[in-house]
Amino acid sequence: MPQLAAPSALAVTMGEPAGIGAEITMKAWATRNEAQLPPFFLIDDPDRIDALAQRSNLDAPVARISEPEEAAAVFPSALPVLPIALDGPVTPGHPNKATARAVVGAIDLAVEWALSGRIAGMVTNPIQKQVLYAVGFDYPGHTEYLADLSGEGVTPVMMLACPGLRVVPVTVHLSLREAILAIDRDAVVLQSMITWRALRDDFGIAAPRIAVAALNPHAGEGGALGAEETDIIGPAIEILRDRGLDITGPLPADSMFHEAARSTYDVAICMYHDQALIPLKTLNFEQGVNVTLGLPFVRTSPDHGTALSIAGTGTANPASLISALNMANSIAQRRTAVALPAAQV
């Protein structure tokens, strides 16, 4: 059987043009050798990127490409940029709704190429959702939009990872009141199963250990401080144990993120957004990565926003994007290896 060809590069989407996406992408490229980065290309306006590099005194020569397959050959000497037209001017720190169509278009292109196998995966720069609503973007965030583009039967799971901690929030972009109402047994079971499979298949952890956070203080104190642990989370954990998972909980959230506790599990399943993201961003804000599990392609992202307040100042830190690129590459390589016959690996 012939060996399958591995896709040559990762696609990086532009994100909000008025934010720091282009700057951190150029800075990441400049560290390509030191950080041992895989080949990647940026979907953006090459003239804009070149002008920004010169204005910000960034060492990132730009090379225009027309197809994703050209990126790998160009990457060692220049940042490959695959053009997409912007319909309006870009001023750092000041989003322009005229550029929204290009932002969404870059995501659409990357998904199309990922699904067809032309790229190794996609890394998305942060978006400014309020601006995208002007062109009919009706999703809470990247995660939900990517799942919709992936077709029927896809359940996306948002995992945040940094050295020393991985977390998954069962509910994501909801108000706290809505999140509490949205927690149910089936959601905890499904998200935990998808996470377990991803840790095994994409991260190479043979027997993933899962810790599940409680919702209420002191894990509900046996129902005295809330019934979610006894009525929802506990029963979900029992179902998962019956399926053979190494899983513990519900654990009091105030005592499961110190160093000794983190050494006992590979991922923490949390009940809502901030319960997951606060410990991770406190532990390692600079290197956090957002990775979407459950998709038919590889997608990661920096774990920060558009940083409009510092856009154009040249002070943005590319560390999270660098981590996202390396994680996407690692997952893509593992998936490619699994796809090859044993004799070909």
Q: In the chain, where does the domain assigned CATH 3.40.718.10 lie?
A: 1-154+296-345, 156-294
Structural contact between residues 272 and 180, judged by C-beta atoms closer than 8 angstroms:
yes
Query: Residue 7's pLDDT is what?
Result: 56
Lowest-pLDDT range of 29-43, 125-139, 154-168: 125-139
Query: Residue 279's pLDDT is what?
Result: 97
Query: Residue 3's pLDDT is what?
Result: 36
What pTM was estimated for this model as a whole?
Answer: 0.92
Query: Residue 337's pLDDT is what?
Result: 81
Residue pLDDT, tens place only, 69-103: 999 999 999 999 999 999 999 999 999 999 999 99
Torsion of CA 70, 71, 77, 78, to 10 degrees: 110
Of 3.40.718.10, 3.30.56.10, 3.40.190.10, 2.60.40.420, the CATH number of 156-294 is 3.40.718.10
Per-residue pLDDT, averaged over 165-194, amounts to: 96
Grade residue 315 by pLDDT with cuts at 50, 70 and 90.
very high
Residue pLDDT, tens place only, 213-252: 999 999 988 899 999 999 999 999 999 999 999 999 999 9
Grade residue 341 by pLDDT with cuts at 50, 70 and 90.
very low
Per-residue pLDDT, averaged over 318-324, amounts to: 97
Computed on alpha carbons and rounded to an integer, the radius of gyration of the chain in Å comes to 21
Structural contact between residues 212 and 192, judged by C-beta atoms closer than 8 angstroms:
yes
- What's the 3-state SS for 202-234? CCCCCCCEEEEECCCHHHHHHHCCCCHHHHHHH
- In the chain, the amino acid numbered 32 is R
Residue 116 has pLDDT above 80, yes or no: yes
What's the mean per-residue pLDDT of the chain?
Answer: 93
Residue pLDDT, tens place only, 280-304: 999 998 899 999 999 999 999 999 9
Residue 203 has pLDDT above 90, yes or no: yes
Query: Residue 345's pLDDT is what?
Result: 29
- Selected residue with higher pLDDT from 123 and 3: 123
Residue 2 has pLDDT above 70, yes or no: no
Fold of 1-154+296-345: Isopropylmalate Dehydrogenase (3.40.718)
String of DSSP letters for 17-59: TTTTHHHHHHHHHHTTTTTTPPPEEEEE-HHHHHHHHHHTT--
Query: Residue 5's pLDDT is what?
Result: 46
Query: Residue 173's pLDDT is what?
Result: 85
Lowest-pLDDT range of 129-133, 162-166, 186-190, 266-270: 129-133
